Structure 1
């Protein structure tokens, strides 16, 4: 059997979905990058405070995406089977889950911002800056949850251009308002981190309005209406819990693990916090295509299973794995070449800048592993129906290997932030060996009832 699928439609759909979702993700990351870079030019304390506050946003993002991924897996199968009413019901369930997560996170952050941020660092100035940002930013959580669930529903039926348009509008609004409000241009007061928070909140509200308008006026595939969100099919809800709960739990432990990683580096000084923020922001910017390939894979595999074309799944999975490796190698080269020019934009200490350069070098190597194992496990295996495996895999690697070893390096052995950072990212290579075996056994193709 040939290693590559001989079907032009497969490549066209995969690269189209990957490109558009990747551009959407790129612009979404650009929102954080604009905050990151403008505050980096404002002060290192402001940058560090907002970087820690954004760990809360990242955790919410992981939780909401967990709820949305369950929605996409189910809806893409229903799309393949042309079950439009079932897609509407899945959208209702996903929306309720997403909103519930947004409300819970808002309650915690609004009433206990200082307590939450003190988990990451003991630096009073950094915590104060983060609290200023969080008290405003937390009001965007519910809008983010609603927008994400609606875009996930549209993505499951291969409607992806609206996500790009929404993300682009958010980026433009955020950059303009950041310029005006952080530094006090055009007659507005200089608000610093509060200005950045107001800019992001405004952008989140407007993007939610745009998505509602698109669904009301232009969507013809699903025909979502408000009444579709007023009741839930109990049997479908049971299926969603069976399929989606392992994904939500996996994303939760991953999001918490990222927060713990930031806390470990955060207790190693302000320079380590700033360097980690810069390196990870650029990493997210460069790797959008990798994460987009996982989303595209989920839609393609799910739809193909829904269509009942099981004979195509094995060929698709083999070809996709090769494409992932090429994407990883290209991304690693780009990340390594970008580190010098990018760091020149930041007004930070030489220590932080040097650390950020070292962190980006490490990421340019580990990204090859990320590019293979992440879409292989979350794109192929999850959408095939085996949603529990990624949960177990992430828990073992992150909570039993990576975090304990990193904490020992940081606090017991007193090793440098660079060595600790290498430990924190080592799972991206180690998981590849698990992914190769799991994917190529092809025991992950399951129905919702299994």
Structure 2
């Protein structure tokens, strides 16, 4: 509904609320009691999410033009429910496939060595912080392209998508360079042994190139394609790339060939590189340029 500012306020407030509650659980309520602290942090995160949900519902009921209400059983709702399931089930399935792939990859790393687990946990945090703006480009691009397609302005959708792709590329490069710039600072902040530190240094270099592919792929596969109703491409892409290529190759590297941990980490992060040419090729076919809106009589 083009109300991104309010969304940003809700997310920011609840983020700081979550951090504050977590800090209270770790340092005030349960110091020196890790099991209770972990439980408190989990409950604090759930509470922050509940507050976030409450803010959304209250805003929808009191201020938004689109009011929150339970779905009815009329013809319009049946049509919308059918469209909703058609376009969201592949996306939800894609999240399960992608999330499951990350879990398996983390499990493979966990069976290699504790030092690699420690280095990977820190590298993941740094990488996620670096690509946060890339995720914003993906979400904003989906809204903008969906708006143009909803008005049957396909030429403007193509023009805007090319410009957004350029922004995604620039932000991906900036994210990768940022990781390399802050790498010495990360080494000063965290306390790792020499082996884990060497793993972390290598992983951050890998994360730098990962950000470029991730930024473009998330913009195209997670932004443009769903906006045009092409939600199945991302699902099949992750099934083939992650589960048929990357994960079996990572398993062989870890348990059969026993390659160096950094080389294993490179293999695990090849999914975005493999998906990049597929995403660009699919994008240039412009089969995703579809108006998925429906005219209904209110």
TM-score (norm 1): 0.60
Q: Deviations over 1:122-179 (max 9, x none)?
A: xxxxxxxxxxxxxxxxxxxxxxxxxxxxxxxxxxx11122222222222322332233
Deviations 1:216-270 (A, max 9, x none): 3332x31x133x3465722222212222222111111111101111111011122
C-alpha separation in 2, matches of 1:252 and 1:423: 21
Stretch of structure 1 that moved more, 412-421 or 313-322 = 313-322
Instruction: For structure 2, list consecutive stretches of 5 or more residues without a partner in the other structure.
Output: 294-298
Relative to structure 1, the CA distance from residue 211 to residue 348 in structure 2 (aligned partners, 3 Å threshold; closer, same or farther) is farther
Q: C-alpha distance in 2, partners of 1:346/1:194?
A: 24
Q: CA deviation at 1:402?
A: 0.5
1:173 corresponds in structure 2 to 17
2:296 maps to: none
Once the two structures are overlaid, the 10-residue window that deviates more, 312-321 or 254-263, is 312-321
* In 2, Cα distance between equivalents of 1:311 and 1:172: 41
User: 8 Å contact 1:406–1:424 — kept in the other structure?
Assistant: yes
Q: Residue 170 of structure 1 contacts residue 204 of structure 1 at CA under 8 Å; is this kept in 2?
A: yes
Q: CA deviation at 1:427?
A: 2.0
- The answer as to 2:259 corresponding to 1:404 is no
User: Is the CA contact 1:182–1:194 (under 8 Å) kept in the aligned structure 2?
Assistant: no
Distance 1:174 1:324 in 2: 29
Q: Deviations over 1:75-102 (max 9, x none)?
A: xxxxxxxxxxxxxxxxxxxxxxxxxxxx
Per the alignment, residue 282 of structure 2 pairs with 438
Counterpart secondary structure, 1:347: coil
- Which aligned pairs between 1:47-86 and structure 2 lie closer than 5 A? none
Per the TM alignment, residue 292 of structure 1 is displaced from its structure 2 partner at its CA by: 1.1
Counterpart-to-counterpart distance in 1, 2:163 and 2:30 = 55
Secondary structure class of the residue paired with 2:287: coil
State whether structure 2 residue 68 is matched by structure 1 residue 225: yes
1:355 and 2:199 are equivalent in the alignment: yes
Q: Which residue pairs with 1:202 in the alignment?
A: 47
| Residues 1:216 and 2:61 are matched in the alignment | yes
Shift in Å, 1:189: 3.6
TM superposition shift of 1:279 = 0.8
Match of 2:103 in 1: 259
CA distance in structure 1 between the partners assigned to 2:276 and 2:285 by the alignment: 14
Distance 2:54 2:202 in 1: 41
1:282 aligns with: 126
What's the CA shift for 1:409? 0.2
Q: Which is worse superposed, 169-178 or 375-384?
A: 169-178
CA RMSD of aligned residues (A): 2.0
1:243 is aligned to: 87
Cα offsets for 1:107-130 (capped at 9, x unmatched): xxxxxxxxxxxxxxxxxxxxxxxx
Deviation at 1:437, TM superposition (A): 1.5
Matches within 5 A, 1:1-400: 157-183=1-27, 185=28, 188-190=29-31, 191-192=33-34, 193-219=38-64, 221-222=65-66, 224-226=67-69, 228-229=70-71, 233-400=77-244
Cα distance 1:412–1:170, how it changes in 2: closer, same or farther (>3 A)?
same
